[in-house]
Structure 1
Amino acid sequence: MPRHRVLIIAILFILPFVGLETRLVYLQGLMAETYREQILKKRTGVRLLPLWRGRILDRNGVVLAQDLRGFDVQIRIGDFEKRPDAAEQLLRLLPDRGEEITERLRVIRERVEEKVVGLPLKQARRMRVQEARVAYPFLVDIPFQAALMIESHPDRIPGLDVQEKLRRRYPYGALAAHVIGYVGQIQREEYDRLLNSGFFREELGESVDDAQFELLKIRGLFMDELIGRTGVERQYHKELRGRRGAILRERDTQTGETRDVPATLGEPGRDIRLTLDLDAQTRAERALAGKRGAIVAMDVWTGEIYAMASAPAFDPNDLAPPPNNEAIRRMADRDAGLPALNRAIASAQPPGSVFKLMTGLAALQEGRIEPSTSFPCEESILLGGHSFDCWIFEHGRGHGPQDLAGALQRSCNIFFYSCGKRLNMLSFRSWMAAFGLGEKSGIDLPAESPGRIPRQATAAKATVGEMLNISIGQGELLVTPLQAARMTAAVANGGRLPRPRVVMRGESPPSDHVETGARPEFLAVIRQGMWQVVNEPGGTASMSGMSRFHASGKTGTAQTVPGKPNHAWFVCFFPHEQPRFAICVFVEYGGKGSSAAAPLAVPVAEALQRYLPAAAQPSNETPPSGTPVAPGD
């Protein structure tokens, strides 16, 4: 082979090694110091940033729920046990949490031992040393003074790290608790579901590697997740929660210094502004003090809820972590009145005479009566050996001839029995549904009850007796206070059934409603009768105090189980000339609607006056004189 070819082949063979040697010289010489410094720096862990939950505000910006800073403690068990009296020192600092401290130390030691079970001796020793350096969650929500002492005297109680944590707090306690709701610690099944779905992993992103994520999971650091349990906290949990962030902590192995490197940027939760007015809500809850019941106040046009009170209530501060076990037990205690139950949307009850609004309207719509039709209230209606009476018969007299407006004013049973006898249950049922009864309203709160109206399948077979019962709000009929308020709003605004909501949509929210199909002239007759209920002598709510608000309303007294008092109801809207608000008051086993329910609407109406234009402000005139003739509703 020619020598020049050999030379070329040799050069081509040697060139790659020359390049490699050059690179080695560069790395080991010129860049050696740089890489040595990088190697000495080591990522030692990931720190999760706390989730900053959004605030919940009333319609005027008053804070009703917010996150506040608290102090939690993590423990490195190896450093802690280097000082024999560390536990004793800690017990002196937190004497009221002795049992908790002892139990947590036991659990953490057991967790460390569980990780070395089955390992070879040498590997087990190495694992113990490693785990002894791990910071485990230890104590939650310690006082500021204790946190300061631990941080400023690490020599006395070594191995403890104080971390600022966020606590969900409700400044007004039980006020609006059923609307706001509360948060609770994530449960095991919820945690497993989120973990298996990849929720936690995807949220942290690629900056946190799989090994680091597994370490976070093993340490149980995702178990501090808070979940909205009821109310707005549950309904808007995703918006309120925000997004979790993480920081990578790097440690210089020479100096021991650490620095934090952002890995995943978190996002605070969104603030939620409610439609509630704090003053109206406060007055509604005070009105219900010592009772069981509900009050709902809503805008008849937009469906915005200005007040939604349910009694008895609960303090969500007692249920947010760390929870009060006695408060949790009481939530479902029937003897305590089931404080967890939002009676405004979840308690469906017989509506009694407030339902006469529907009976009169359906009779008009179906052509069974005219506005001027009159029925005499003189004697009972006998059917199958049962007597259907008017409440006034207890006083030895009847109402005499009554038209629809007068029958509403005096709540005459005989008039509405007469309407019920003439109605067809199928068509009657369609009008109930048109005004939102028998179905959920679509309010942006969980656990709403649909109530109950006669089923389609059985309506065609309804007996006369069933029709008579339904016509005065008894029988196969259950209504929630929210449904009653919504029904009243539709009567007030000319037949538009608004969709209620508790969260604001903007400064000028669009009206979200369904047309009921009711004729305006017939609704006007119903409104006239409601005006007479409140504003004319003999009206069952004429002594309630609501006349000064130019209100129109209807009382109701619903029979319950034998041996129990009646339920008391009152629905109204005001002002009559320019309707703006509808109110429903329900008092469980309260007695008569005229005396037990109607007066409770007054303080709520007072609070809502501020939202009325000056021309529509109610007068302070004395309510019409004269005592109603033995008001029974």
Structure 2
Amino acid sequence: MNNNQKRIVIAGSLFLAGLLFLAGRLIQIQLVSTESFSKHKINLIDQSVRQRTHSFTINEGRGLLLDRNGEMISAELRPAVILFPFLKGEEGAIDEVANALGKSPSLIRRSLEEHEEPFVISDEKDHITSETMDKINKLKLPGVYAHYIARNKHSEFASALLGVTGQAPEVVKKNYKDKLDKGIVSINTKIGKTGLQQAFDPFLISEGETKLIYHVDRSGSPLFGLDVKYLAPSNPFYPVSVKTTIDSELQHILEDAVDKSGIKNGGAVLLDVSNNELLGMVSRPYHTGLSKNQMVARHAPGSIFKVVTAAAAIENKDLQKGRNFDCDLGIDGKSAKHPLGTLDFTASFSQSCNRTFGMLANEMMETNDKIIDDYAEKLGLTIRSGWHGQVYHYPEFKQFPEEEQGTIWGDRYDRNQPLAVSQTAIGQKNVQVTPLSVANMMAGIARGGKMEEVKAATKILYKNGNTLLSFPNHKQEKGIEPYTAQKLQMLLRGVITDPKGTGRALQKLPYTVAGKSGTAEKGDSNTSNKWFAGYFPADQPKYALVVVDFDYTDANTTVISAYADIVNKIYKNDKEK
């Protein structure tokens, strides 16, 4: 065989190998790996259909969050007219649509030229009414449909509490493998990433979109005539709705008061004392996206924590009964920054004397070095305050999945250091609690010492309105004695009524208030954590409220002004009902 013949054989072999490779690749694409092509596991059939399909999503199929009155708060329904691009050139249809909408035909034509996918004329800009929708649908024009569309709300309303949704393929693979394998969800299905959207995601996750679709050829012209199909999930029970405890009117009151007061880093928590349900929650700063909910995160409470020390002292009556304390001194025995003179236990609480509670804590720790821990737990500050428990096959379902648990001691040796004990007793050093747990503590005291978990939702409802499941009240295992609660109620009321009390600015509100202030220093920062926590009306408690500013300076009165504003507006709201 000469060289030319060798070259021909080699060239032919390479050509044949190339053909075999291409044939093998085509077999792989067309027959073998049609549903899982390449390392990216691409479904080629699905992608092929998508390329030939134009669609408009009416509803993503995700379940809804409702307020306590059954109104949607996670999404909204908007009346809309949906136009499909194959209307281009259909002059008669364009004229009829323009006439029904009260617009010029040229405007409709221009809109169609600008879009290659179905698009919507919505109520937001064009004030579509139900009458207009009826008129459009009676025309029975192919490619023109009037329908209510559901869209997620993008607003500050209860943003940190409600949370956000988004795509997270790895989470879908991990948490919803069965649904993914059955084709109920895809890796691109949106899931709840924060807040109640995250907590109730197993129930809210979409099991199929409702959409209008049509198929096109290579030129973009519709296949199968001008037929647009309406596709919706066949399950009559889904999507479900979660009925939350949020009162939309009270939530707006909280948000307006917090923003008006100038609180940029902080927020408020409002509970219904009778059933321990969350009525409203505000967290600032607010950012679109994954905003941290400050109200379920740990923060130094300052003198709010004196409630714990006081509760322990009340049940150790001989320690504080009939005693006076030198409140011209600080917890270190040196001159106090704000001297208060000689005070008894009651006045020490209302005027927030650090010396008194530092001394009492050290005396109690001598006989029981776990006493502060015990009473912090009894008052719910170091355990999970939000509702949690068994729900179906979820053994530890949490309504507040981002909630952090409070802490007291950072170093085990602090229990034996008098100064560290004193600092801990007044809510400094390493004490960290959440605003939610503080509100829960106040609600428990207002109820006479009965501690319960806070609910943010009461029911999950099927699409037809029937109840899928309910969340019963959960009592916390520990609590304080009724006598102790009664004494704490008197102390908390004294904070307001004492002419020198730290809450005296709240004396003239239409609802009487009982509560406690707190200021926690933040190391080298020139700002501090400023709290006011309490309940009202003091004689017949209905609401427990916490307001906190984490960037407080002595020059502002953000917390007190916000607290007073909220109480005034809730009183007015109650009277108008």
The structure 2 residue matched to 1:450, chosen from 390, 401, 405, is 405
Q: Label 1:52 to 1:374 Cα distance change in 2 as closer, same or farther (>3 A).
A: same
Tell whether 2:379 aligns with 1:435. Answer: yes
Partner of 2:446: 492
Q: Which residue in the other structure is 2:182 paired with?
A: 202
Match of 1:558 in 2: 520
User: 1:593 and 1:440 mapped to 2: Cα distance?
Assistant: 35
Distance 1:93 1:281, change over 3 A: same
Q: CA deviation at 1:343?
A: 0.8
Give the superposition deviation at 1:423. 2.1
The 1:510–1:272 alpha-carbon spacing in structure 2 relative to 1, beyond 3 Å, is closer
Distance of 2:205 and 2:255 partners within structure 1: 29
Go from structure 1 to structure 2 and tell me whether the alpha carbon gap of 1:466 and 1:550 turns closer, same or farther (over 3 Å shift). same
Instruction: Summarize the Cα distance change of 1:351–1:460 in structure 2 as closer, same or farther, 3 Å threshold.
Output: closer
Q: How big is each residue's C-alpha offset from its partner over 1:503-550, in whole Å with a ceiling of 9 and x where there is no partner?
A: 134999854222534232232222111111112311111113565312
Distance in 1 separating the partners of 2:172 and 2:147: 23
C-alpha distance in structure 2 between counterparts of 1:461 and 1:381, whole Å? 15
| Structure 1 residues 8-53: Cα deviation after superposition (integer angstroms, max 9, x where no partner) | xxxxxxxxxxxxxxxxxxxxxxxxxxxxxxxxxxx99999995433
Does the residue aligned with 1:501 lie in a helix, a strand or coil?
A: coil
Q: Which residue of 1 aligns with 2:151?
A: 168
Task: Using structure 1 for the length normalisation, give the TM-score.
Answer: 0.62
Q: Distance in 1 between matches of 2:546 and 2:213?
A: 57
* Structure 1 position 300 matched with structure 2 position 273: yes
Instruction: Provide Cα deviations, 1:78-115, integer angstroms capped at 9, x if missing partner.
Output: xxxxxxxxxxxx997589x9xxx9xxxxxxxxxxxxxx
CA distance 1:592–1:409, change in 2 (3 Å)? farther
Q: SS in structure 2 opposite 1:598?
A: helix
What is aligned with 1:365? 315
Correspondences of 1:135-154 after superposition (within 5 Å): none
The letter of the residue matching 1:450 is Q
Q: 1:228 aligns with which of 186, 192, 196?
A: 192
Tell me the CA shift for residue 381 of structure 1: 5.0
Partner of 2:26: none
Does 1:573 pair with 2:535?
A: yes
- Paired with 1:91 and 1:561, the residues of 2 have a C-alpha distance of 65
* 2:341 aligned partner: 399
Amino acid at match of 2:358: Y
CA distance in 2, matches of 1:200, 1:222: 6
Give the corresponding residue for 2:296: 345
Structure-1 residue corresponding to 2:140: none
CA contact (8 A) 1:570 1:593 kept: no
Is residue 2:437 matched to residue 1:471?
no
Change (3 A) 1:50 1:543: closer
> Match for 1:275: what amino acid?
T
Partner residue of 1:189 out of 164, 170, 185: 170
Residues 405, 530 of structure 1: 8 Å contact kept? no
- 1:308 positional shift: 0.6
* In 1, Cα distance between equivalents of 2:174 and 2:81: 29
Distance in 2 (alpha carbons) for counterparts of 1:72 and 1:168: 14
Quote the Cα distance in structure 2 between the aligned partners of 1:515 and 1:382.
Answer: 36
What SS class does the counterpart of residue 569 from structure 1 fall into? strand
Identify if the C-alpha distance between structure 1 residues 547 and 403 changes in structure 2 by more than 3 Å, giving closer, same or farther.
farther
Partner of 2:502: 540
1:355 is matched with: 305
2:296 and 2:514 map into 1 onto residues whose CA distance is 23
Give secondary structure in 2 for the equivalent of 1:479: coil
Q: Which segment drifts farther, 256-265 or 556-565?
A: 256-265
* Cα distance, 1:360 vs structure 2: 1.1
Please give the per-residue CA displacement for 1:153-174, whole angstroms capped at 9, x wherever unaligned.
xxxxxxx999989553327x21
Whichever of the two has the greater Rg, that structure is: 1
Residue 64 (1) aligns with residue 73 (2): yes
Match of 1:288, SS state, is helix
2:74 counterpart SS class: strand
Check 1:202–1:542 CA distance in 2 against 1; reply closer, same or farther (3 A cut).
same
Structure 2 counterpart of 1:284, from 254, 261, 267: 254
- Alignment root-mean-square deviation, CA: 4.4
Give, in whole Å, the separation in 2 of the partners of 1:585 and 1:250: 53
* Alignment-derived partner of residue 202 in structure 2: 238
Q: Which residue of 2 aligns with 1:52?
A: 61
Instruction: In structure 2, give the amino acid aligned to 1:532.
Output: G
Structure 1 residues 222 and 164: alpha-carbon distance in aligned structure 2, compared to 1, 3 A threshold: farther
Letter in 2 for 1:226: K
The one-letter amino acid paired with 1:379 is: L
1:274 to 2:244 alignment: yes
The question of whether the paired residues in 2 share the 8 Å contact of 1:354 and 1:569 is answered with yes
Counterpart amino acid of residue 448 in structure 2 = G
Secondary structure class of the residue paired with 1:307: strand
Change (3 A) 1:246 1:380: closer
Q: Which residue identity does 1:354 align to in structure 2?
A: I
User: How big is each residue's C-alpha offset from its partner over 1:183-224, in whole Å with a ceiling of 9 and x where there is no partner?
Assistant: 22x2332455578x34145255xxxxxxxxxxxxxxxx9465
Of 219, 224, 234, 1:265 maps to 234
Within 2, Cα distance between the matches of 1:307 and 1:464? 40
Could you report, residue by residue, the CA deviation over 1:390-414 in whole angstroms, capped at 9, with x for unpaired residues? Answer: 4423xxxx332x2222111111112
Aligned residues with identical type, % of pairs:
22
Q: Do the aligned residues in 1 keep the contact of 2:207 with 2:233 (CA within 8 Å)? A: no
Q: CA deviation at 1:438?
A: 2.4
1:183–1:353 distance in 2 versus 1, CA, 3 Å:
same
Instruction: State the Cα distance separating 1:241 from its structure 2 match.
Output: 3.4
Instruction: Provide the C-alpha distance between the structure 2 equivalents of 1:498 and 1:613, rounded to a whole number of angstroms.
Output: 28
- How many residue pairs get matched? 455
Q: In structure 2, what is the Cα distance between the partners aligned to 1:601 and 1:249?
A: 52
Q: Which runs of 5+ in 1 are unaligned?
A: 1-42, 77-89, 102-137, 147-159, 205-220, 315-326, 332-339, 618-633
* Secondary structure at the counterpart of residue 428 of structure 1: helix
Report deviation, 1:453: 1.5
Indicate how the Cα distance of structure 1 residues 547 and 527 shifts in structure 2: closer, same or farther if over 3 A, else same: farther
Partner Cα distance (2:349, 2:407) in 1: 23
TM-score when scaled to structure 2? 0.67
Inter-CA distance 391–139: structure 2 relative to 1 (3 Å threshold):
farther
Partner amino acid, structure 2, of 1:345: V
Tell me which amino acid in the other structure corresponds to 1:350: A
* 8 Å contact from structure 1 (residues 550, 574) kept in 2: yes
Residue by residue over 1:576-597, the C-alpha shift from the partner in whole angstroms, topping out at 9 and shown as x without a partner, is: 2222221111111213599432
Contact 1:544 1:595 in 2 (8 A): no
1:67-86 superposed matches below 5 A:
68=77
Deviations 1:236-289 (A, max 9, x none): 1233335337999999xxx95779798961343222222122222112112221
Partner of 1:178: 160
